[in-house]
Amino acid sequence: MKISDIGEFGLIDRIGRTASRNAKGAPIGIGDDAAALVLSPSSTLLATTDMLIEGVHFDLETTDLRSLGWKAAAVNLSDIAAMGGVPRFCLTALGIPPSLSVEDISEFYRGVNACLRKFGTVLVGGDTCASKQGFVITVTVLGEAARKKIVTRSGARPGDMIFVTGSLGDSAAGLELLSSGSGVRGQGSGKTRNSGTRRLIEKHLRPVPRVNEGGKLSAAGIASAMIDVSDGLSSDLGHLCRLGGVGAEVFARRIPLSKELRSAKGLKKTPVEYALSGGEDYELLFTVPPGRIKKLKALPLVATEIGVITIDRSMRLIDELGQGSPLRAAGYDHFRSGRRRGPVR
Ligand code: ADP
Ligand code: MG
């Protein structure tokens, strides 16, 4: 069987089945934003790792090394945030191609450490190898959470309302603008871009993980389920629905879109399309039972209600006229689509 027949998520399910079930001390198992490992009756270690590969996730024509370092750290911190945890320690493993210099690697670590510092996390180890082709980056972040405060992907129940922090679609639109403007080093970069375009590109290159927001939601016991939006709203909501055994209705006109995205010129898709299938926003998507909405409103946190969890297991998108249509997971899959996150030459 080809991997493309089952896709990235089918493959992960299979790998998950090879792991021993209900392993002592790992009550959640494989499949959430981070592994939750019980250290003591009250304390849990959260662990997550993400790989970034040159030519697949990024292209050095469209990112500078400092931004790349920031992002490599941020995408991992985001997974800890999505569990409602506090990130503490980081390990970085690099495969370095001959084209990169000592100065390049220093720049990369300026970005890594700036992001880690902002969220109280420290670099404690890793591994360094030569790569024959392409820069390969693996970052692991360890965090902590009180066992009862962890928010998994699987807790959504019918009637829960669906919320998302910040705005969606900016990162994918930023990548498109970056690519069409001949990259960070090419023409059309820097000062010649307008401020809206620059902000969309910034969101792509240096996403800010929602660590503070995830922490607040978990501390106040508000969210029934949570995931970070790394693959696009349709895919990540799909994970919440599948793991919760539920469905969802999303109201298209409620999806939060930034004014920069709404007014951007020369994009190939509509803002809602970027939000649904673009990915790499690293916002938090979470569900809240109706009885906890008051508590949520009392928090200092910007989140938009975009829909409701349903008992029927399908996902539907409701348009401006109130017409519903099936909402299919259309985000990134490493093995299924020809689509890639970064422009690849
Ligand atoms: P995210 O987008 O939040 O980083 P992924 O889609 O990469 O999540 O992974 C989903 C889940 O599958 C996570 O719990 C991750 O730890 C697990 N996973 C992914 N690949 C593997 C693998 N090769 N071996 C074991 N677990 C994996
Ligand atoms: Mg995640």
Percent of the chain with pLDDT over 70: 94
pLDDT tens digits for range 187-227: 455 556 789 999 999 999 999 999 999 999 999 999 999 99
pLDDT digits (tens, 9 = 90+) for 5-47: 999 989 998 998 888 776 788 988 899 999 999 999 889 999 9
Q: What is the mean pLDDT of the chain?
A: 92
What's the order of all strands across the beta sheet hosting 122-130? Answer: 35-38, 43-53, 136-146, 86-96, 122-130
CB atoms under 10 Å from CB of 25, counted, come to 10
pLDDT band at 339 (very low <50, low <70, confident <90, very high): very low
Cβ of residue 280 lying under 6 Å from some atom of ligand 1: no
Domain annotation for the chain: domains and CATH numbers:
3-146 (3.30.1330.10), 161-326 (3.90.650.10)
12 lines ligand 1 (CB under 6 A): yes
Residue 99 has pLDDT above 90, yes or no: yes
User: What are the residues facing 309 on neighbouring strands?
Assistant: 248
Q: How many angstroms is it from 266 CA to the middle of ligand 2?
A: 30
Q: 131-134 contacts: CB < 8 A, separation 24 or more?
A: 131/95, 131/96, 131/97, 132/97, 133/97, 134/53, 134/54, 134/55, 134/95, 134/97
pLDDT of residue 191: 56
Q: Is residue 116 pLDDT above 90, yes or no?
A: yes
Nearest CA residue ID for atom 2, ligand 1: 230
How far is ligand 1, taken at its centre, from the CA of residue 11, in Å? 10
Cα–Cα distance measured from residue 5 to residue 266, given in angstroms and rounded to the nearest whole number: 35
Q: CA-to-CA distance for 334 and 271, rounded, in angstroms?
A: 23
pLDDT at 337: 61
Query: For residue 305, how far is its CA from the centre of ligand 1 (angstroms)?
Result: 27
- For ligand 1, atom 9, the nearest C-alpha belongs to 31
* Residue with the larger pLDDT of the pair 117 and 340: 117
> What local confidence, expressed as pLDDT, does residue 189 receive?
54
Does 175 have pLDDT greater than 60? yes
Query: What is the band of 181 on the pLDDT scale with cuts at 50, 70, 90?
Result: confident
Minimum mean pLDDT range among 161-165, 226-230, 319-323: 319-323
pLDDT over 60 (residue 150) = yes
Pocket-testing residue among 18, 30, 281, ligand 1, by greatest number of atoms within 8 A of Cβ: 30
Place of tokens 């109130």: 322
pLDDT at 158: 98
- In eight-state DSSP terms, residue 112 is H
Give 145: exposed, middle or buried? Use CB within 10 Å, 0-12, 13-18, 19+: buried
In this predicted structure, the answer to whether residue 338 has a pLDDT above a threshold of 50 is no
Q: Is 230 in the pocket of ligand 1 (CB under 6 A)?
A: yes
Angle between helical axes of 195-205 and 65-81 (0-180°, round to 10):
70
The predicted model gives 75-98 an average pLDDT of: 98
Query: Considering only 38-47, 59-68, 184-193, 252-261, which range has the smallest mean pLDDT?
Result: 184-193
CB-based neighbours (< 5 A) of ligand 2, an ion: 33, 79, 228
Q: Is 80 exceeded by the pLDDT of residue 297?
A: yes
pLDDT at 275 over 90: yes
pLDDT above 90 (res 186): no
The response to whether residue 50 sits with its C-beta less than 6 Å from ligand 1 reads yes
CB within 8 Å of 267: residues ≥ 6 apart: 173, 176, 177, 274
